[in-house]
Structure 1
Amino acid sequence: MSDSKSKLSHIEQFNGTNFQLWKYNCWLILEQNDLLDIVEGKSKEPEPHAVSGSITNSKEIKKWKKQDTDARVILMTTISPKEQQAFVNCKTVNSIWVKLAAQYLQNASASTHVLQARFFHYQFLKGHSMMSHITAIEGLAQQLEDLGSPMSQSQIMTKIVSTLPTAFRSFMTVWDNLPETEKTMPQLITKLMNEQHRNVCTSPSCS
């Protein structure tokens, strides 16, 4: 593995409450090092093949064990010491992940209705940029999807548009009149960013 512990320091450690952000950053490192299949249990330790008393695939076994160790280092380094205690008896990275995922989903499942309420009642926050607004709503939707209660793209886009500040009122009308085939998330983001730029440049402070 090319990543040392110092290269993992930018990842906020999993503390029992920040699962989504932790998983996203951690998974980038795992994917970068071709370790996701081992973590998710898709790649199993090779069974020894013996011929005349000699193991013929010892190199493959050694390589797999090295990758498993590398993946365990990534996970355990990015989990807070308090949370690490639950995984000290795990012998493989997949066993760590299975236990962690089960623990998170068990704890979070009870709060599905809370997340749904937060999603439906969420409003544009004063001081937020447009991208911050979009990211906040997408983040709530992602958490709900992880709990088995996904929001459709249409619901997410409707939530974003319906909670825009008054300066974007004309945009809402334009968006509502677009053909359904043109109402996609990339289109919405592009148009909103352009509209934000226009709003800034029509303000007195814009030169």
Structure 2
Amino acid sequence: MTESPDKKRDYVKFNGINFPQWKYAVMLKLRKKKLEAIVLGTETKPTQETLELVVDDVTSIVVTNQAIIDAWMERDVDACSIIFYNIEPTYQTSIEGSTTAHEMWTRLTLQYAEVSVANASLLLGKFHQYKMDPGIQNN
């Protein structure tokens, strides 16, 4: 079942600064719906298997696994929907044009995972530079 933009969610949308928490929450939802492998790229779209048929000197090529391909594509769209609709509109543009859920996930990870690490390092550095004001009483 495809995610809709107005569906109630149990966690916040990605807003540009909460990537680690959002990523964990979305991955839990994807796991629950058995879509994790598609998003991580370990379950890829099946390749077409064809069979050549000749009837009355007319050759036809028939795809023998089209139902499996269609099922994978439907699951991929479900995963894309979960990812896309759980991102604030401002940040949805960074994944528009993606053709698969794996491509969406890769784009987001490359763009925002390092930003989150950099922000954490910056905050840790500020914390270590913090000095207590001797004029403030600690009760």
1:40-94 per-residue CA deviation (whole Å, 9 max, x = no partner) reads 1111100000011110111110010000000001000100100001111101110
Q: Equivalent residue of 1:86, what SS?
A: coil
Matches within 5 A, 1:44-193: 44-52=44-52, 53-117=61-125
Counterpart residue number, 2:25: 25
What SS is found at the alignment partner of 1:23?
A: helix
Whole-Å separation in 2 of the counterparts to 1:70 and 1:30:
9
Q: CA deviation at 1:26?
A: 1.1
TM-score, normalised to structure 2's length?
A: 0.76
Instruction: Give the superposition deviation at 1:115.
Output: 4.4
Partner SS, residue 68 of structure 2:
helix
Contact 1:8 1:77 in 2 (8 A): no
Report the number of matched residues.
121
State the identity %.
31
Secondary structure of the 1:111 match is helix
TM-superposed deviation, 1:22: 1.1
Q: CA RMSD in A?
A: 2.3
- Give 1:111 shift: 3.2
Contact 1:45 1:65 in 2 (8 A): yes
- Hey, what does 1:13 align to over in structure 2? 13
Q: Unaligned 5+ residue runs, structure 1?
A: 122-207
Moved over 6 A (4+): 118-121
1:99, 1:92 → 2: CA distance?
A: 11
Query: Quick one: distance in 1 between partners of 2:111 and 2:4?
Result: 27
SS of match in other structure, 1:9: coil
Shift of 1:112: 4.6
Letter in 2 for 1:82: T
Q: Which residue of 1 aligns with 2:55?
A: none
Structure with higher helix content: 1
Q: Judging by fraction of residues, say which structure has more strand.
A: 2
CA distance in 1, matches of 2:118, 2:91: 20
* TM-score normalised by the chain length of structure 1: 0.53
